[in-house]
Each structure stands twice: as C-alpha cells, then as structure tokens.
Amino acid sequence: MTVILDRAPVPPATLLLREAHLLDPRAGLDGPGDVLVRAGQIVAIGEPGTLEAPADGEVVEAQKLHAFPAFVDPHVHLRTPGQEYKEDIETGTRAAAAGGFCAILAMPNTQPVVDNASIVQSLREIAETQARVPTGFTAAVTVGQKGEHLTEAADLAAAGAAGLTDDGLPIRSANVMRQALQYQRLAGLTIALHEEDPTLSAGGVMHEGDVSALLGVAGIPSVSESVMVARDCDLAAYEDGRIHIQHVSARATVEIIERAKAAGVKVTAEATPHHLLLSDEAVRTLDTGKKMNPPLRSEDDRQAIIDGVRSGALDTIATDHAPHARDEKEQPFEDAPLGVTGLETAFAAVHTDLVVPGVLDLGLVVQRMTAGGEPFGLHVPTLAGGRPADICLVDLDAEWQVGEAGYESRSANCAFHGRTLTGRVRMTVAAGAVAFRERTFAIGAVN
C-alpha cells in the first residue's frame, strides 16, 4: 500500500539551480553542478554552468549554496485538531518548509485523538487546502491512546493514515503491543513507539541523575526507556512486525537497537536534534524551554546518540516538533508542558554543533535527515533525474540567531531559542513546487 501525502495545490516549479554545490550521498553527488527542474520534475543534472536556462522559469544563482535532497520529518506535532492555538497545519507546514523539509508526518495525540478513519479523512482534506509541504497523518495504535483497544487499523490504512503511533504515551500492556503487531499483518502500517515504562517514569520531569538530585525534581530514569525498547524489539522479533522507535534518548536504548538490528528485527529508530546537542546540564537553570519527553539525558547518553546516528543504528533525525503557547511554558518547570519546537532549526543546529566541529560528516547528516519517511514506506528524496523535485538550498556559512525574526511556527518554544547557528535554509522545493523562499534571499528571475 502506498502512503499518499497531502498538500495545498501549488503550481509546479520550473527553475534552474545554477552552480550549486550538489550533495546527495545516495546519488553519488558531491560537487558543483546545475539542476534543471521542469514542471516539478528534475529533468537534468549537469556540470556547473552547462544547463540552459528555461525560457518559462527562473534561474537561481546558487554559486555559494549547497543543494541537498530536502529533508523528511517523521515526527511532528501539528496540534490539529483541538489545539490550534499552539500550531495548525498551515503554520506547522510553513515551519517545516522553512527548515528544508519536503515531507512530514503528523502525530495523532490531538484533541480528539486521531483514532478513526473519519478524522484522518478530514485532516487530509484540511491539508489539501493548507499544507505547504506534503503531509501525512499517523493514527493512534489504540483507541483514545488509552492502550486498551486496537484502532481499526485496516480502515485507517484505507483512509490514508501514514502509520500508527500512540506517541506521547507508551503502550503499557505487552499483550496489546503484541496484538498490534499481529494485526499489522492485515493493516500493514508501521508502528512508531514512544518508549517509556510509566511505572518507572511516573512523576518524573527530567533525566534522573546528578542534576535532578541537585534540583530536587523527580527524575525519569534512562531505564524507563530501554526496558520498553527491549520488550518491543523482542515482541517485534516474535511476531515479525515492523516497528520504529521514536526519539531515542539513552545509551542503553541505542545498544538494544543495535543488537536487534543485528539479529534481523525490523526496527528503525530516530534521534532528535535536541538529544544530539544538549544534555541535562541544560536543565540546571530549570529553563522550561529544555523540558521535553524523553528528557535531555546525560553527556554519556548524548555521545551514544551521536555514535548511533553515525553508525546507522539510529536511521534518521526527527524533530519531535512540539509547539506550546508562551504562557504554558512560562510556568514553574514541573508544571510546564513537555516539548520543544525544532522544524526551523533542525539542520542548522546539527550543522553548527556536529558538522562544523567535525563530529559528523555533512553527507551523513543529509542522509539521516532525508531518511525519515523510509520506515513508513515513503520514498527517500534524492537529486536524480526523473524524480519530483525535493530540494533544499542551504547557505552553510550564513549565521543567524534563532528567533531573531520570530518563527514560522505559531509557537516559540524552540530548544535553541537565542542561539547563533551557522547554516540557513534559503529555499525549499517540495514535491516539485517552491514551498519556501527566505525573504532576504535574492532570486534572479528571468521573467
């Protein structure tokens, strides 16, 4: 079954990217070149300066820019329906486009929960008028995310749900998890998992460690994640199911996933930019902008996440973009809601702290940031002829301060708010149409 993503109708682009540095490890590209997009399709990739400008399109002088295949984020909270004061499909997908994403998957922990086909259908209809980039909607594994009864997964799949997840909550019962995996043989949707043993994490608001001991706030131990990942890898192996582990935060989890993959379990996993860049030291000031679940963990855990992304144990970088209103975050740490936004900063943050210092290779980061749809059966964007154009143009030298000009997102609870980052998305082409163009980015249009 092919998952279909939805977005508002936009004219397909015809444009020439001239002399950009093309970087796409999957396509074997790493050097200057021209890309010609006609009617939304990449029709030619050539040596720099060799491709003819299209008579009916625009020319983007991209000499100082990098062109990557655009990114795919499998983990975004669009807050629709029910919490549109935090984000909606229009603002959330605008943020995605600004971050260089050409496709995203929305999480179903809305109000009401996306747990039946009619909600999926209505969300797809809204996306058809509002979404700036192709958007897929995941549905809940269990009705109301209560962890008790399975949702009508076959009906959901027929309605176009992109995957199943109770994200925000774990599936407490091992038996319900097992049944979901059995039912997957019928419905076919990948199950994405927020892993947390609620009896171990109960009451916790940050990573359990030296910092939580000092602050006197209840901790969420790293084992609360890893014991559930171990359980679900075993269940997936037993039922031959396909699972995707969301926002991996702990070293032990990375090690379990490595072992499961080596044993042939169909498991994929994601890491977030905030878990890659920050540790629980960032919570020392009880800044609610650093509160999320799973929490920022120890420096040792962070290093393991970086190693996991490098080795491929963690397949993709996902944002877990989780918008909250300002007044909700302006509360004492223990009372503030969980989550940070990240679509607009994901690439720049990883580039600044991990690529520039030489910790991760740029090409590898591009590979991981484009791979987010793969666990759900979406195609992986690549710079190749004959494909709909999914391209982001990035100025790797541009410095900018996060939030200096506000956000495309409706919310401002970015984990990197106020930081100076290096690397700025100038333009995003998603499924053949221009989805984002930075305001200051001069375009040399020919007509």
- From 6, 280, 320, 390, the catalytic residue: 320
Q: Which is nearer to another protein, 196 or 270 (CB)?
A: 196
CB atoms within 10 A of CB 414: 24
d(CA 129, CA 77): 18
Site string for another protein, 241-280 (x = CB under 8 A): ----------------------------------------
Residue 171: both structure tokens together: 């599936």
Q: How far is the CB of 325 from another protein (least distance, A)?
A: 10
Residues 319-338, interacting with another protein (CB under 8 A): 326-327, 329-336
Q: How far is the CB of 91 from another protein (least distance, A)?
A: 16
Q: Which is nearer to another protein, 70 or 95 (CB)?
A: 95
DSSP 265-294: -EEEEEE-HHHHH--GGGGTT--GGG--SS
Q: Where does residue 60 rank: exposed (0-12), middle (13-18), buried (19+ CB within 10 A)? A: buried
Residues 5-64, interacting with another protein (CB under 8 A): none
3-state secondary structure (DSSP) of residue 177: helix
Q: How far is the CB of 174 from another protein (least distance, A)?
A: 21
Q: How far is the CB of 407 from another protein (least distance, A)?
A: 10
CB atoms within 10 A of CB 232: 27
The single-letter code of the amino acid at 410 is R
Q: Contact with another protein (CB under 8 A): which of 39, 81, 403, 441? A: 403
Contact 248, 270 (CB under 8 A): yes
Q: How far is the CB of 53 from another protein (least distance, A)?
A: 44
d(CA 261, CA 226): 15
Counting Cα atoms < 13 Å in the Cβ hemisphere of 437 gives 11
Site string for another protein, 205-224 (x = CB under 8 A): ---xxxxxxxxxxxx-x---
Residues 410-429, interacting with another protein (CB under 8 A): 412-413, 417-418
Q: Which is nearer to another protein, 295 or 432 (CB)?
A: 295
> The tokens 């109708």 sit on which residue?
9
Residue 328: both structure tokens together: 């909700």
Q: Which is nearer to another protein, 86 or 387 (CB)?
A: 86
- 196 touching another protein, by CB under 8 A: no
Q: Is residue 315 annotated as a catalytic residue, yes or no?
A: no
Q: Which is nearer to another protein, 326 or 439 (CB)?
A: 326
d(CA 301, CA 275): 9
Q: Which is nearer to another protein, 73 or 280 (CB)?
A: 280
Q: How far is the CB of 71 from another protein (least distance, A)?
A: 25
3-state secondary structure (DSSP) of residue 189: coil
Cα-Cα-Cα-Cα torsion 236, 242, 246, 248, nearest 10 degrees, comes to 50
Give the residues lining the site for another protein (CB under 8 A). 208-219, 221, 285-289, 326-327, 329-336, 403, 412-413, 417-418
Active site residues: 320
